Chains A and B, each alone.
Chain A
């Protein structure tokens, strides 16, 4: 057991930071970060930015060399994630590509699918959206109703998806569809978003304008060759994909960055050095975020060793969410005007985390999974 980064990892982090310094525009914090990741401004920038990262060999170092990577351990992927999130995530939607869409295609895709998709993801030029949740089927994905009926060498898709961030600008959708009557008769289709019959409607929310979308599918014809895996294999594939996603966002890193910024403000306003209560609260937050960091790193270490996903990924998310909730509360207690035009980056931190307990499977489901898978507690 040891807790040090290798020299190569330190150098990789340095190169990522250098790339951020060189590639982010001077008004990044003020003009870009406050926009939704799904805004035209951020999406357009992400295509340019990710392509530049790819050119420097920084976007997918943990992927196989044959597919645009450098065969590095997953630690590199997490270093990249930490630095990108700390900078306001200039990869935009493409963080998903690198986190789980690409790795899932590499594991389950046909040779043709890999040839078609992986180069675009590794090159940083393609935008994906995730077509999982539906009105009436969020965490309980088995309740989804969007149907794909076989018609020769095509599926015909009808239904709708909701909360689909990036849908307005995505090139492709990683779409879950029902292909049979049973709860687990669910399959995955890789669907070009310009296919006739797809329409996208944005709706307002607490997160950011343009963030939330509903996607409607009306007689959308998708070639059978676009199915990922076998019919009915979606559960195995999604379980694999979400195991990556649960530790995909380094919430400890973004939380500590937000906390540093908050302290800077409190200090500037003369509300820090003489106030042991606020310093005490901030100290507790650091400890909470560091606890989340340890469990995230534990999961990465398990991945690097090739161990199958286990409930530690769920536990890591639970611990991180507790810290995030405390951080949001800290902001509301000490810098409430950050939600009223006081600081756009802190507002961004707060608003982006409003749904943190819901996305990727609700916190309650994570708790259930650890209770049974990690602690072996009996079913009710």
Chain B
């Protein structure tokens, strides 16, 4: 058991952080946006191999990349192409960026669909790999912190490549990715909020000096910190049960996290010039994916206490 990054892992994180630092600010034209996907940054990360970390180093390293990119103000598609696709489809390489959707949601707005070249579809038992024709996708306006798109006409699942029995593996890595991105975005949003409450004064005192604020921020910090380690454990172990637990824990903390962080940022927290929403509404966007909280919780229960044949009730 070792909770510290190895030298290679630290070097990877340092390198990603260096690139992200160079792209920390948003262009002036995007500062009031709800989300901004930077294709150049996406390409830079891909060209430098950071989105291949799952294959070249391992899934934990891919999760570390996804965690770091989730802390960025810019929306980067690292979860699908860097972690989920290589782990859910170990025998094939798909073109990124990669969007993820449940089959029943193909007619709805889909996260990252406007930038995706591939869509992985969770069909329950099976999964489907669908190439995305950008011309078939309409952009959808949303306050959620990712680019959203909808198919002009819902695609025919039969046009994709069906992976028999691939649904469980897709959901597993999707859940690991969700936990990882929530951990990263929550970390960034909490750090941002700590800066705000340290500087902003009310009644002659820093907002962050009030115990009512401090205690709740600590609880949110506890959620983010434990989610990070659960997500990393899930990536490291490759066990579906660990992924369920990581996602479940990440998701069950969303409501108080978003409420408290927006509360502590006050009126500024509801403006788009204040940046908080870039992280918090990215977290909100992930809330219902891969079965959401209820799906993950029920899978945990069913895995730990499998149904007994002939049981009552």
A-to-B contact residues, CB < 8 Å: 1-5, 75, 260, 263, 267, 270-276, 279-284, 286-288, 290-292, 294-295, 297-298, 300-302, 305, 312, 315, 318-319, 322, 364, 367-368, 370-372, 374-380
Contacts and interface: CB of A to CB of B under 8 A. Distances in A.
A281 B218 CA distance: 24
Nearest to B190: A375
A3 B300 CA distance: 19
Given A270-B313, A291-B249, A371 B215 contact: yes
Contacts of B206: 378
23 contacts: A1-B3, A1-B236, A2-B2, A3-B232, A3-B237, A4-B1, A267-B311, A271-B313, A272-B305, A282-B304, A283-B298, A290-B249, A291-B230, A294-B230, A295-B226, A319-B222, A322-B222, A370-B218, A370-B221, A371-B214, A371-B217, A375-B194, A378-B209
Contact of B198 (A276, A283, A298, A378): A378
Interface in B3-17: 3-6, 9
Contacts of A274: 312-313
A377 B6 contact: no
B252 A284 contact: yes
Contacts of A295: 222, 225-226, 229
B236 A3 contact: yes
B226 A292 contact: yes
Given A276-B298, A374-B218, A294 B233 contact: yes
Contact of B313 (A2, A273, A315, A377): A273
B299 interface: yes
A301 B3 contact: yes
A119 to B, nearest CB: 31
Nearest to B61: A1
Contacts of B5: 1
Interface of B: 1-6, 9, 60, 194, 197-198, 205-206, 208-211, 213-215, 217-219, 221-223, 225-227, 229-230, 232-233, 236-237, 244-245, 248-249, 252, 293-294, 296-302, 304-305, 307-308, 311-313
B310 to A, nearest CB: 10
A380 B205 CA distance: 7
Nearest to A367: B215
Nearest to B199: A378
A305 to B, nearest CB: 7
Contact of B296 (A1, A283, A297): A283
Contact of B197 (A75, A377, A380): A377
Contacts of B222: 295, 315, 318-319, 322, 370
A279 B248 contact: no
B3 A283 contact: no
Contacts of B301: 279-280, 282-283, 286
A110 B293 CA distance: 55
A322 B220 CA distance: 12
B245 A287 contact: yes
Contacts of B2: 1-2, 301
Contact of A280 (B227, B244, B294): B294
B146 to A, nearest CB: 25
Contacts of A380: 205, 209-211
B229 A294 contact: yes
A10 B129 CA distance: 41
Contacts of B302: 279
B217 A287 contact: no
